[in-house]
Structures are given as C-alpha cells and as structure tokens.
Structure 1
Amino acid sequence: MKKNIRLLALLALGLAACQPEFDKPVDESGFYSAGDADFSNYVAVGNSLTAGFADNALYIQGQENSYPNIMAQQFAHVGGRDFIQPLMNDNIGGLLAGGTQIADTRMVLNATDTTFVNLDEQPTTDIANTLQGPFNNMGVPGAKIYHLVAEGYGDISGVGSTANPYFVRFASSAGTSVIADAAAQTPTFFTLWIGNNDILSYATSGGVGVDRTGDTNLANYRSNDITDPNVFAAVYDQLLTALAGSGAKGAVANIPDVTSIPYFTTVPYAPVPMDAGTAAYVNSQYQDYNNAMLQYAALGLITQEEAQRRQINFQEGQNPVVITDEYLTALPNPQGGEMPKIRQTTPEDLIVLTAQTHIGQDPDDPSIIHGVSVPLEDQWVLTPEEQLLVSNAQTQYNATIKALAGQYELAFVDARAMMAQAAETGIPYDGGVLTSAYATGGAFSLDGVHPTAKGYALVANAFIEAINETYNSTIPGVNPGAYPDVFVK
C-alpha cells in the first residue's frame, strides 16, 4: 500500500510538471485561425435552407439551428461577431397577415400512429409587424434565384403575387431587394446557397408547371416553373458580384438531386394492398380500357410498347396505383372526346410524400378509391419524363455554381454528393449515422425536404470543411449528435 501511495505521488508530481504545456483550452481565442479570411461580419444569403426552415414551417428553434447560425457560433472562435436573425415570434410556425392565418403551423410526429400532423395552435407571427435590421441571415423561404434581385420582394402589398411574406417581415424598405439588403451590410464573409427552388417547386408539385428552358422573360414565369439555366447563370453572377464586390470571401453550395430527399422516396410505387377477390373485380372494371389500348396498337395509333404500358392490372398483394400521365398519346374515345391517359406506376415513378394521405378511400365518398377506381392526378407523381427535365436543369445550374465558385475563388460545397451519401449509405457522426429515411433517419425533418437540426449541423460542417480547405483556416466543426431531430407530439 505504501509503495502504491508513493507511486501515485510521483505521478501527480509528473503531471504537475507537465501542466504548463496544456494551459490553453482548445476553445480559447488564438487556438484556432481564420487563415486568409475575415469572419467579423458574416452574411448568409439563400432560401428556406438558409433560414432554418424545418417541418414545413419557420420557427425559432429551427432558426437557432440553421446552418448559418451554427457556423456563426464556430466563427466566433476566429473573430466572428454577433449573428442576427429575423426570428419568428414562437415555435409554432405559421404566419398571420393582419390577424388572418396565411401559412401553416409546423408539422409534428403523432406518436400514436406515426403520422405527421400540424400543430393545432394559433400562430403569433404577423407579417404586418416588421422588424428592424440589418440581419445577417438573409435566408428567405420560397425564394428562387431571380427573387433575390427583385425589387419590391418585401412589399406587403404584393404578398400573393410579387412579394414574399417572410421577407416582408425584415426588408429594410418596401422597394428593396434581398441582395441589396445583404450587400448593404458590406460583409467580410458570405455564404450563398440558392437554386433549389428553381427546380424543387416544379418537382414537389409533381411536375405541374412549365420548363422555362429557353425562355428568359420572367414575366412568363409562374411559381412551379423551372428556371431557364441562362437566367440562373446571369443572376448567380450578379449575386456574387454584389456580395464579393467589397473584397469579401465566401462559400457556395450546389443543388442536391430530388431523388436524395425523402419527399420523393418515402411512398413506394406500389402502395395499395389488395386481396384476390378485390383485384379480380377491379380488373373487370378496366377490361374495356385494356382491350381498347390493344386495338389502338393493332391500328398503329400507338406502339405495342405503349399499349402494354397502359394495361391496368391488379393482383393479390401490393399494387401500383393508377395515375394520369400527360405524356401518353392522345387517343379518340368512340363515345366522344378522348380516352383517359392513364397507366399504373412503375419503380421509375416518384410518388410525392403528401400523396400518402390521399391514396385510398375518399372520406367524403367511399365509392371513390384514389389510385384505384380514380387515377391520381399529375400533382401526386413525378414521372420519368418530368424527372429528366429537373435533372437537366439541375446539371446546368450546378455547372454554373462550380464554374463561378472557381472564377470568384470561393469555397465550394458539394451538397449534391453529401445528400446522395445520406440517401445511399448514410453519413456517420460521433454517436450514430444520419440517413434520408423519413422520420427515422435523423437527417430530414417531417416535410421530407428540409433537414433537421442534426441535418443542418452536417451542412454546417460541410461548409466549414470547404472553408478551411480554401482559406487555410482551422475553424472547428460541430457534433451533429448534440442537435435534436424530429419532434414527437
């Protein structure tokens, strides 16, 4: 025992002698380096992903866990200062305009049946009550790239047409633009993640929109249209000119594939269970249609391949749904008008997340079974043809982002690769693995599009890694496991 006591005393002396070499905590100023960048005035520009949108709403907790706010906390180690956000009034989400609700509350998971529901509470954030800036987080939910340069985008009189209710809350004036307010702060460092909505609004609507490739007249554009790649490139360059004009350094991110997010991968292409008797009955109701398609093929009005594609056939077990497909050939109906353009889904189709509450028996008319007796409308499915339009635009957008990042010597974040990894293998972190599995994967919130706080922490780390590599800085990352994921009611 005495020998053990003496040994412990010697060890204590040895540790005491070594103590001066470890007298600087890792979080003390000076341990980390800003490298070649200046983070004293950081401004983030973008859309809902920048704002911290989650669970189909903007709310305080989401904003506090936005990737720019997480980054700003890490920038504090290397000279970063206060990061001011246009915070909502509550954690309920939703918006009011003069007391009238104009946006839904946040989604939560119902623990009893694992479905999502909106909080049954009254929002308290009224867009008529404007905030005084400036604000470092210039993320505007719903914004497309050309919206960021649009004057009057924060004019309350234009809400519903030319203005955005979220920007109305914190625009410096009714006539300003998002980029004007951002550039007016003369940032020393900026991030820009924009362009998702320029294809995503088309995709999430099931392709109910127009591909505007080749059309540079913004007056023709509607909310669900795909932005022309040339418009995208011109505006993106305009944004970088404004943000980097004073010598600021920055980081940009590209656009993920729609197939990487659970909004398009959660509902299977064959979601309808059916017994043998029901299948036989339903098939009898489609027999005339099936025969007509074969006859049209025999007459040469459609190919044999299309005739087979249009055959409706149910069987015992899980079944594809019947959908309307505008890309099918228009055919005359002997009884007048046109034959319905319908077929069943295949593994190549993407049924949108919100369709899961629509497929099945109509609560108002039990005789209607959506996806069986009544085809699903275009808005519920993104077909392969529509996916190709999205992919073509995305490829061109991402080429522009990568090229301009090089031209302006900015850090580049490959968000597309990161989201693909989450969907395919998952992204490990200290404490687990984040995947794109709906509700359980941890990376995506309940709207199936926007990340959870854990997911935003991953995004923040990706930006920080690219910044460190580009600007020789040593900004520390964060542990995604320290952040929350979905909220269960």
Structure 2
Amino acid sequence: MKKFYALLPFLGLFLIACEDDTPIDTPDPTPIEYTSGTADFSNYVAIGNSLTAGYSDNALFIDGQTASFPNMLATNFALAGGGSFEIPFMADNLGGMTLGGNPIAGNRLILSFLGASPSPVPVEGQGSTEVSNKLSGTYNNMGIPGAKSYELLAPGYGSVTGVAMGTANPYFARFSSSESATVVGDAVAQGATFFTLWIGANDILTYATGGGTGVDQAGNIDPSTYSRNDITDPNVFAGSLDFILQSMTANGADGVIANLPNVTDIPYFTTVPHNPIPLDEATAAFLNSVEAYGAYNAGLAQLQQLNLITEEELAQRTISFSPGEGNAVVIIDEDLTDLTGFNPDLINMRQATEEDLLVLTASSFIGTLADPNNPTSINGVAVPLADKWVLTPEEQATVETALTAYNQTIAGLATAYDLAFVDANTLLNQLNNTGFQQADGSIVDATFATGGGFSLDGVHPAPRGYAIVANAFIAAINTKYGSNLPDVNPLDYTGLYID
C-alpha cells in the first residue's frame, strides 16, 4: 500500500501532461475507391416486367418504384461512374390507375387487423394515375408490369387507345414514345452503355396463378393466338429474348441477364394448406351420408366393381370427412378421367393432397358459406373449388417443363452474348427454404406477410426482398466485369409497409 501511495505524485504529473497535450486525431480509414471494372455504367437501362418495375403488394406505386432493384443498382453504379436513372413514377402511393377516369387497376394492399385475423386489403383512396396523361422524356427503368417476353417486341404495346381495346399495356402507355412504339425500341433508343434484362416470368406465371386454366402453347409459334393465361412456346420465348439481346448489345453495351425462378416456390402457392377445414361431428356425418358425398362414393365403387376404373382411381376420387381439424378441401380436377358418360353425377372432383397447391386468393373464401341460408354449403367442402383455385401436380409438371426450357435458353444466350448471369432460380429456392441471414441476426425468407422477402400479393418481393435480388445482380456484375460495387443492405428497406 505504501508503494502505491508513493506512485501517486508521478501519476498526477502523467495526467497533467496528458491534459496539456494536443489531442491526436485518428485518421479516417482510407476510403474505398469504387470502380466499374471493364463495364460502363454511365447510361444504365433496365428491361423487364413487374419484377424490374418494383411492383409489390399487387400494385405499382412511388415508394415501390423507388425500392426497385434497378434503382438500387443505379445508386451503386453512381459510385463508379453511373449516371442518372429516370423512373416513370406513378402519380401517388396508392397504386390504382384510371383510363378516361374509369378505374382499370386497384390500389396496393395493406395488412388489415380489423377482422378475426390479419388479412390483406386494398388501401383506401382514389388513385390519381391517369393513363392518358402521358409522361414526357425517356426513362431508364423499362420494367413493364404484366409484360410477357414477346410483348416487349410488339408495336402498339404502349398505345393509349390500345389499352381500352385490351391490346396494349397501361403501364407502358403512360410513357411510350409513340402510339406504335415497342418497349425494346424505346430502350434501344436511349443508347445504353449497360443494361439488365429479367423477362419471362409472366410467360409461365399467368398459367400458374390461374390454376392451370390456360393452355400450354408449346409447338404453337404464333403468339397472336395465345390467351392471357397460356404458356408461351419455348421457341417464341427464345426468339424474343435473342432479339432483345441482339438489339441491346448492337452498340457494344454490356449487361446482365437473370434466369427465372420456379413460380411454385412463391408464397402465392405455399401459404394456403390443402386441409384447412375444421368440421363438427354433425356436419362431417352429413357430408359422408348418402345425401351428400356418400352417393358419389357409391357410384365410384360401382364403376370399380365393373372394372371401369382402377382401385387406385377409386381411392384417389373417394371423398370423406372427419370431425375436427385437418379436412382436405374438395377440388375440381380436369385431369381426372371423365366419368360423366357412365354417371352424370360423377364429375371430376377429389379431395386435395399435399401435392396440390392452393392459390393464395382462395384463402378469402375457403370455409365460408356459398349460400348464407344453408349451413352445409361450405366452400371447399360441399361446394368444390373450381380448377382455377388449385395448381395440380400435372399442372405443376407443365410449368416445370416450360421453366426448364426457358432457363436453358437464358443460360445459353448469356454465354453467347458474353453477359453476366444471375441464377434467380437458386436465389428464390434459398429464400423459400432457408432464407438469408442479416447482419442483425434476423432471417429474411419467403414466409407470407412476416418473412420480409415477399409483399402481400404473395408473388412479388417486398423492398427487402428486392434488395436481396439486387445483391445477386451486384455479385454477378462484380464477377463478370471486375467491378467492386458494394452490397445493398436489405435492412435499409422495409419487409412490410405499415400504414
């Protein structure tokens, strides 16, 4: 202790000396010098559909457009010589559109907590985006919600007059250079030095979200004969993509192209279970009785005894219910053998299995009464779900076949045109299965409404999900062109808009 006291005078002198010294400034770390490598980001143009436009929550609106992955890329490109990035902004944050004052698109979705459980509902208000109020100038974000691959080449796709006739796209009509313009033509006219291309999802998606009610047009190379929910012929897709890339690279522009995710991995198909129906004992007994499905089951059994259907088909089509939770919904399945020639009551229906994918929008009415005056008229039980509400295994296989062909084309053209390549299919698979861990330890995944990766429409990413997409593009660009662009921080963006 005496030795400690003896040191005190020296400690005091040391402290006084420190007080007299001028504080030493710690130099800032050497700033990172970002470079574009061999790429030229000075004039960046993004081409695609709703995924490029920043569409989310079932609408296009200002905040969503600002949080589009191309705008995130453009912000980073500016660190390495990138120029301005012009966006054809909607008029407000509601998302609705009118044509001649008549509504043609609804407002964006928000999560409502007013009911028994939280559910997506359109935000209230009258949208102020009028399609006929043409924007002037050119726009770097050429993402057109709803566009299919071949439609980017179609003259008149941006015609205001054509919107009313159903031959044009209202989002492109707002800023197309003329009534006869094409999306590709307007993109090429900007003289891009760098571009991104992500197109083709809608060539499959509309078939899938329509529950497979469209037609697989493989073998039909005339898209003018297609309906909206049809799957595009792979050769039409390949030819459209090749033309776009040939046009965009003609003056030496570099770029990056992304393949297509498996649409059946999105929350639109993974949220609603196949067996969501609870039943009390009396209702289950009635449904199994001869007055309901008992007669249907007996008719099937009779056909099997006559060897007109197999035991396997009998088991597949037999419908039964139990008291309690976990009853599978009854669905119409057009892929089943048509038995109505033997018995008009034996329509193509069965109970769903784990392999069936019920669409998200079916959740709004499954379990409700089709007839409020009939307590047994339960949608999905006594009233089968129409084909459009379910993507069956056979329809999923059709989607998978087209997706495989499209992605082979994209990978091949990426090599042929010496472009950077983004494997969006693997990206979405990871988002769906394990998610992406963030710096704060949180996980961004594809869980509907709470995962942060997808918006409330169950199809399009939320801003946080778009940030993950942007990082995949940045990684591909850095690898291909030797740039050193930084990642986007997904936590800087919302996983769910809260109003």
Residue 58 of structure 1, aligned match among 41, 57, 60:
60
| 1:383-437 Cα shifts (integer Å, max 9, x gaps) | 0000000000000100100110011111100111111001101111222211100
Matches within 5 A, 1:210-249: 210-249=215-254
Give the aligned residue type for 1:194: I
Cross-structure match for 2:8: none
Aligned-pair distance for 1:295? 1.6
Matches within 5 A, 1:115-194: 115-159=119-163, 160-194=165-199
Of 428-437 and 230-239, the range deviating more from structure 2: 428-437
Cross-structure match for 2:412: 403
Cross-structure match for 2:438: 429
Cα distance in 1 for partners of 2:341, 2:398 equals: 30
Cα distance in 2 for partners of 1:90, 1:9 equals: 60
| 1:270-311 Cα shifts (integer Å, max 9, x gaps) | 111112332111111211111111221222222211111000
Of 211-220 and 169-178, the range deviating more from structure 2: 211-220
Q: Does 1:315 align with 2:335?
A: no
Cross-structure match for 2:101: 99
Matches within 5 A, 1:343-422: 343-362=350-369, 365-367=372-374, 368-422=377-431
Cross-structure match for 1:76: 78
Q: Is the 8 A contact 1:260 1:422 kept in 2?
A: no
Aligned-pair distance for 1:363? 6.1
Would the alpha carbon gap of residues 5 and 101 (structure 1) be closer, same or farther in structure 2, given more than 3 Å must change?
A: farther
Residue 474 of structure 1, aligned match among 467, 475, 484:
484
| TM-score of the aligned structures, taking structure 2 as reference length | 0.93
Would the alpha carbon gap of residues 101 and 364 (structure 1) be closer, same or farther in structure 2, given more than 3 Å must change?
A: farther
Cα distance in 2 for partners of 1:455, 1:329 equals: 42
Give the aligned residue type for 2:332: T
Aligned-pair distance for 1:477? 1.2
Give the aligned residue type for 1:157: T
Q: Does 1:25 align with 2:27?
A: no
Q: Is the 8 A contact 2:300 2:346 kept in 1?
A: no
Q: Is the 8 A contact 2:370 2:379 kept in 1?
A: no
Cross-structure match for 1:287: 294
Would the alpha carbon gap of residues 374 and 364 (structure 1) be closer, same or farther in structure 2, given more than 3 Å must change?
A: closer
Give the aligned residue type for 1:84: E
Cα distance in 1 for partners of 2:139, 2:372 equals: 50
Residue 256 of structure 1, aligned match among 261, 265, 269:
261
Aligned-pair distance for 1:333? 5.6
Q: Is the 8 A contact 1:353 1:448 kept in 2?
A: yes
Aligned-pair distance for 1:334? 5.8
Would the alpha carbon gap of residues 118 and 454 (structure 1) be closer, same or farther in structure 2, given more than 3 Å must change?
A: same
| 1:357-395 Cα shifts (integer Å, max 9, x gaps) | 021223653422111111000110000000000000000
Q: Is the 8 A contact 1:330 1:338 kept in 2?
A: no
Cα distance in 2 for partners of 1:200, 1:6 equals: 74
Would the alpha carbon gap of residues 225 and 4 (structure 1) be closer, same or farther in structure 2, given more than 3 Å must change?
A: farther
Cross-structure match for 2:346: 339
Would the alpha carbon gap of residues 5 and 295 (structure 1) be closer, same or farther in structure 2, given more than 3 Å must change?
A: farther
Aligned-pair distance for 1:259? 2.6
Q: Is the 8 A contact 2:42 2:81 kept in 1?
A: yes
Runs of 4+ in 1 over 6 A off after TM superposition: 7-11
Cα distance in 2 for partners of 1:366, 1:399 equals: 54
Give the aligned residue type for 1:101: P
Residue 304 of structure 1, aligned match among 307, 311, 323:
311
- The structure having more radius of gyration, on CA atoms, is 2
Q: Is the 8 A contact 1:57 1:106 kept in 2?
A: yes
Q: Is the 8 A contact 1:296 1:302 kept in 2?
A: yes
Secondary structure, aligned partner of 1:360: coil
Aligned-pair distance for 1:487? 2.1
Cross-structure match for 1:325: 333
Of 464-473 and 267-276, the range deviating more from structure 2: 267-276
RMSD value, Cα:
1.7
Residue 280 of structure 2, aligned match among 275, 278, 296:
275
Aligned-residue sequence identity (percent) comes to 51
Cα distance in 2 for partners of 1:331, 1:90 equals: 53
Q: Is the 8 A contact 2:330 2:380 kept in 1?
A: yes
Secondary structure, aligned partner of 2:145: coil
Cross-structure match for 2:39: 37
Secondary structure, aligned partner of 1:267: coil
Secondary structure, aligned partner of 2:385: coil
Equivalent pairs counted in the alignment come to 479
Cα distance in 2 for partners of 1:345, 1:11 equals: 78
Cα distance in 2 for partners of 1:361, 1:461 equals: 43
Would the alpha carbon gap of residues 465 and 366 (structure 1) be closer, same or farther in structure 2, given more than 3 Å must change?
A: farther
Aligned-pair distance for 1:106? 0.4
Where does the alignment leave 5 or more consecutive residues of structure 1 unmatched?
A: none
Aligned-pair distance for 1:332? 3.2
Of 422-431 and 400-409, the range deviating more from structure 2: 422-431
